[in-house]
Amino acid sequence: MKVQLLGLNFDELQNWLVEDLKQKPFRAKQLFTWLHFRRVSSFEEMTDLSLKFRNILKSEAEITVPEQTERVESDEGTVKYLLKLPGGPAESVMIPDPPRFTACLSTQYGCRMGCKFCMTGSAGFHGNMSAAEIVAQLYTMAGHSPARISNVVFMGMGEPMDNWDAVGSALEIISDDRGICIGQRKITVSTVGIPGGIRKLVDMEKQYGLAVSLHSAVRETREEIIPAARAMSLEQLKHDILEYTGTTGRRVTLEYCLIRGVNDSIEEAHELAEYAKDIPCKINLLVYNPVPGLDWKRPSEEVLKRFTEYLYPRSSAVTLRRSRGGKVAGACGQLGASVLLEKEKGPGCQ
């Protein structure tokens, strides 16, 4: 099997070149620059490498280049990319908010967390993405972006902490100043909270951001809509969050998707305020985005107003965010239709 070069961080790339290909160490910087700064898609474009060396690379390695099967753009400019990666179909989203341009990356084909209100959860789990496949999504969008991508969020299909080896490598690659160089503080990893997950991010001793998909501070409610939450108590999740904030000195973002009749009551708002009161955080309220086939509803404007006004000023940093990309099924919770379609085709179908 050929080496997937996009998934090797600088040290891994250098080790492979020196130990396996018997090349000089300086080759690592040359190759890393071509892959991650110039972002070429073929060895032929690496014009300052000898033909002999390029032929060696072609025989031993590959550059992951997604096939773009569809690109759909909403009225407000959000773009959803449907990509064909080696492991299957993937969906990624570009969110323009000049001067900020944010790339939302997927980390798995589907997801095993089973969140009841999420399209990706409905798609089920069909495998982990490699670091190369994660990085390739970013470079595809960078090639189409009208401006430099400034921010990256791991909030697409999948649970990042459930595919940590690949996600950790991807984080190192995209924040490396010899490559595309997205600042650590401009990169955010999202999680519903799984045992040991946040600890892995803390252990990197970096400044990557953390967003926790909380969605309820009431155990029964949270476990109803996020079955995976049964594996980790709210108390343990809070302990891990505080470990992150204490180690990094950064606030965490608590994501809270408001669903009609499920978690939008004043009682739920009270429990959220109590849970968050001693956490250095900002609370990001989202309005549920409808998903075909799922019988969940958005709260009324009156309920949204009441919930938000109760929460603030009890919590000092609260934002009610209107998700972008809903018209192209590119908003929060709407990714995964391509994976579900692939599943329904069954084996042997084209």
Cα 16 from Cα 33, distance rounded (Å): 16
Among the options 104, 115, 118, 332, which is catalytic? 332
91 is catalytic: yes
Write down the catalytic residue from 91, 159, 268, 271: 91
Distance between CA atoms of residues 291 and 297, nearest Å? 9
Cα 299 from Cα 334, distance rounded (Å): 17
Q: Counting beta carbons within 10 angstroms of the beta carbon of residue 306, is it exposed (0 to 12), middle (13 to 18) or buried (19 or more)?
A: middle
332 is catalytic: yes
Query: Tokens standing for 55?
Result: 């032929």
Residues 6+ apart with CB under 8 A from 21: 56, 60
φ, ψ dihedrals at 230, nearest 5°: -65, -20
Asked if residues 30 and 47 have their Cβ atoms less than 8 Å apart, the reply is: no
Identify the DSSP state of 236: H
Cα separation, 79 vs 289, whole angstroms: 16
Give the number of other CB atoms < 10 A from CB of residue 303.
16
Q: Which of 226, 239, 156, 157 is nearest to 197 (CA)?
A: 239
DSSP string, 183-227: -GGGEEEEES--TTHHHHHHHTTS--EEEEE---SSHHHHHHH-G
Catalytic residue annotation: 91, 332
